[in-house]
A and B are shown apart, each in its own frame.
Chain A
Amino acid sequence: MAKGPNVNWLPVKDDNRPVNLDLTKFHFPLPAITSILHRISGVLIFVGTAVLMWLLAESLSSEEGFQRVGEWLQSPIVKFIVWGILSGLLYHLIAGLRHLLMDAGIGETLEGGRRGAVLIIVFSVISILIAGVWVW
């Protein structure tokens, strides 16, 4: 039998059941992908909040500060960064709302889970495109 990864930290030792915890070797179904994207987008907007708060502080500091933020937002790089943060925010929001629906017992079956994942992708792609049009 192939030797599994080091699982000495598990409470059960000398267990010869096959172990495959190597995530890189799994084929991920869509619900798994939407789930990991929820986590990745969460980290992205946690860090991106610094950029948004900086823009907020500057834009509220004075009339000149407000103009400066307006000028920064003309730059393609800044536009791209803001669009990236907005995309993360929209995706996280949509996937989060779906979580709340599942907490309420909606879409909890295997088939419901797959449909929900497809809906997350559809709604987030649409809203991310709208956000892109708005930023540019």
Chain B
Amino acid sequence: MVSRVSGATNLGRNGLHDWVLQRFSAIVLAIYTLGLLGWFAVNPDFSYGAWRGLFDATWMKIATLAAIIALCAHAWIGMWTIATDYLTSLALGKAATFVRLLFQAGCVILIFTYLVWGVQILWGL
């Protein structure tokens, strides 16, 4: 019963699908993170104009949106992995499935908040 419910809350269609999504989103996030850190390294003590100019560029808005969407998928899979590994009936007894679904619901709310907030930061100003 437990495994059936845990199989219903993962992001992909199956474990292999999750595996691919996790790797693909990881690569997107790694490239974005290294790119942004590189920008900070090249532009120490940057001005508001330079910072605003970076995020006003369409390619940066698209890259940032891609990174946020990748973060959503990556966090969903990661949090699912942790929840199904630790919030188990061995640790929590009969309440385990309820506690885990509550935890995952909280994660989904936070993920959705990041997505909406990110779009608002990029295009809502």
Contacts of B34 in A (CB 8 A): 93
For the complex formed, measure the closest distance between the CB of A15 and the CB atoms of chain B, giving whole angstroms: 15
Judged by a CB distance under 8 angstroms, whether B48 is at the interface is: yes
For the complex formed, measure the closest distance between the CB of B42 and the CB atoms of chain A, giving whole angstroms: 13
Give B84-125 interface residues, CB cut-off 8 Å to A. Answer: 89-90, 107, 110, 113-114, 117-118, 120-121, 125
Q: Chain A residue with minimal CB distance to B30?
A: A93
CB contact between A60 and one of B55, B71, B89, B114 (< 8 Å): that residue: B55
Contacts of A93 in B (CB 8 A): 30, 33-34
Are A53 and B117 also in contact (CB < 8 A) when A5-B90, A43-B82, A100-B26 are? Answer: yes
Judged by a CB distance under 8 angstroms, whether B39 is at the interface is: no
Q: Beta-carbon contacts of A1-23 to B below 8 Å, as 1s and 0s?
A: 00001110100000000000100
Judged by a CB distance under 8 angstroms, whether B27 is at the interface is: yes
Judged by a CB distance under 8 angstroms, whether A46 is at the interface is: yes
Q: How far is the CA of A96 from the CA of B78 in the complex (A)?
A: 12
For the complex formed, measure the closest distance between the CB of A49 and the CB atoms of chain B, giving whole angstroms: 6
Q: Beta-carbon contacts of B24-66 to A below 8 Å, as 1s and 0s?
A: 0011001001100000100000001001100100000000000
Tally inter-chain residue pairs, CB-CB below 8 A.
Answer: 61
- Establish whether residues B125 and A60, one from each chain, have CB atoms under 8 Å apart when the complex forms: yes
Contacts of A57 in B (CB 8 A): 117, 120-121
Contacts of A96 in B (CB 8 A): 26, 30
- Establish whether residues B110 and A7, one from each chain, have CB atoms under 8 Å apart when the complex forms: no
Are A9 and B89 also in contact (CB < 8 A) when A46-B110, A60-B125 are? Answer: yes
- Establish whether residues B90 and A21, one from each chain, have CB atoms under 8 Å apart when the complex forms: yes
Judged by a CB distance under 8 angstroms, whether B23 is at the interface is: yes
Report B's interface with A, CB cutoff 8 A: 2, 23, 26-27, 30, 33-34, 40, 48, 51-52, 55, 71, 75, 78-79, 81-82, 89-90, 107, 110, 113-114, 117-118, 120-121, 125
Question: Can you name 12 A-B pairs with beta carbons within 8 Å?
Answer: A7-B90, A9-B90, A39-B82, A42-B82, A46-B78, A46-B107, A46-B110, A50-B114, A56-B121, A57-B121, A60-B52, A93-B30
Closest 5 CB pairs of A and B: A66-B48, A57-B121, A46-B75, A42-B78, A63-B48
